[in-house]
Amino acid sequence: MTRHVRTAIFPVAGLGTRFLPATKATPKELLPVLDTPLIQYAVDEAREAGIERMIFVSHPSKKAIERHVMEDARLTRELKARGKADIAEALSDAALCPVEDDARFVVQPEPKGLGHAVLCAKDHVLDGPVAVILPDDLILGQVGCLSEMAAAYASGEIGHLVATMEVPEDRVHKYGVLSVTGKDGAIIKADGMVEKPKAQDAPSRQAVVGRYILDASIFDALETQKPGAGGEIQLTDAIARGATDLGLGGFQFSGTRFDCGSKAGMLEATLELAAQDPECLEVLRARGLLQTRLVAA
Ligand code: G1P
């Protein structure tokens, strides 16, 4: 059986209530960090990992996501006609081509949770394990998080691999948290996972962030998954059910993760990238806001 990951699912149907009013008319996945929308970082990461098919599980009110990720031939022509060939080229390189790339847009009719969103992609996936990318979690580093995970997945035997990081005790209630049994290099072995536990009930401080590589049987598990935390169909619960039979691992990625689902995380990510941009760097210096640590060279 193949351990090669060919499909990536992007659950992007959420209403983005934490960012209102910014997200009243603009999908949260299109909010930019500096000049690049979150969804673009996610698509770039999937491309780098060699993903063949991208499935966006979206909502009819969020058509702008499709407009952003797909090539816009008219805009490209217009820019070229105005002598802006370099911008046209950059845009078209970043976009997915309707002929050469394999992108699908699926509707999640009701907000029934992350597990339900992933299930909506079931009929569109290619053979083998599937990746799930939550664009809210921006992970910056020398190597894309999904590339690292795909390499670890391909050479291992674990069925479900999730990206994890240690978080302080007072933050575990915001995450899926692993029940840790051991460690094998960059992989934390686990025999279960709990969605948003109270600090006193959390099995560990190893929190799941938005990158998953899941055995294809996840869809069968999701079909029968009962609602969990918040009354939603939780991906965490379906993963946990397969932990014993398939094996569950937490992957400790090398990059830095920014919680761009929150204002503070968005600001942090913006400062991080601003420090790498000569024009913005001047502003940071002038305001005494220069960061000493840079993620990417
Ligand atoms: C989702 C998952 C949670 C995970 C988190 C990472 O929660 O349900 O298990 O830890 O993403 O960002 P959300 O932040 O969408 O509530």
Residue ranges per structural domain of the chain: 7-261, 263-297
Which residue is closest in CA terms to ligand 1's atom 1? Answer: 175
Give the residue, by CA position, lying nearest to ligand 1 atom 10.
Answer: 175
The atom number, within ligand 1, closest to the CA of 236 reads 9
> Taking 70 as the threshold, does the pLDDT of residue 295 lie above it?
no
pLDDT at 296: 47
Query: What's the CA gap between 6 and 278, in Å, rounded?
Result: 37
In 145-234, which residue ranges form alpha helices assigned H by DSSP?
Answer: 145-154, 218-223
Q: Is the pLDDT of residue 33 over 50?
A: yes
Ligand 1 atom nearest residue 195's Cα: 9
Q: What is the pLDDT of residue 16?
A: 85
Please identify, in words, the CATH class of the domain defined by 7-261.
alpha beta
Is 178's C-beta closer than 6 angstroms to any atom of ligand 1? no
More confident residue, 204 or 292: 204
pLDDT score of 67 more than 70? yes
Burial of residue 212, with CB atoms counted within 10 A of its CB: 0-12 exposed, 13-18 middle, 19 or more buried: buried
What's the mean pLDDT when you consider all of the chain? 95
**Hey, what's the torsion of the CAs at 153, 156, 161, 165, to 10 degrees?**
-100
What's the token pair of residue 176?
């899926």
Across the range 189-194, mean pLDDT stands at 97
pLDDT of 297 reads 41
Ligand 1 centre to CA of 30 (Å) is: 19
Q: What's the mean pLDDT in 150-163?
A: 96
195 Cβ inside 6 Å of ligand 1:
yes
Q: pLDDT class for 52, splitting at 50, 70, 90?
A: very high
Q: Is the CB of 114 under 6 A from ligand 1?
A: yes
Q: What is the mean pLDDT of residues 116-120?
A: 98
Q: What angle do CA 144, 145, 149 make, to 5 degrees?
A: 120
Picking from 50-54, 147-151, 164-168, 289-293, which range would have the lowest pLDDT averaged per residue? 289-293
Beta strands in the chain (DSSP E): 7-11, 32-33, 36-37, 53-58, 102-107, 130-133, 137-140, 160-166, 176-184, 187-195, 206-214, 248-251, 256-259
DSSP structure class, residue 9: E
Q: Is the pTM of this model over 0.85?
A: yes
Mean pLDDT to the nearest integer, 235-249 = 97
For residue 290, the model assigns a pLDDT of 78
Q: Is the pLDDT of residue 292 over 80?
A: no
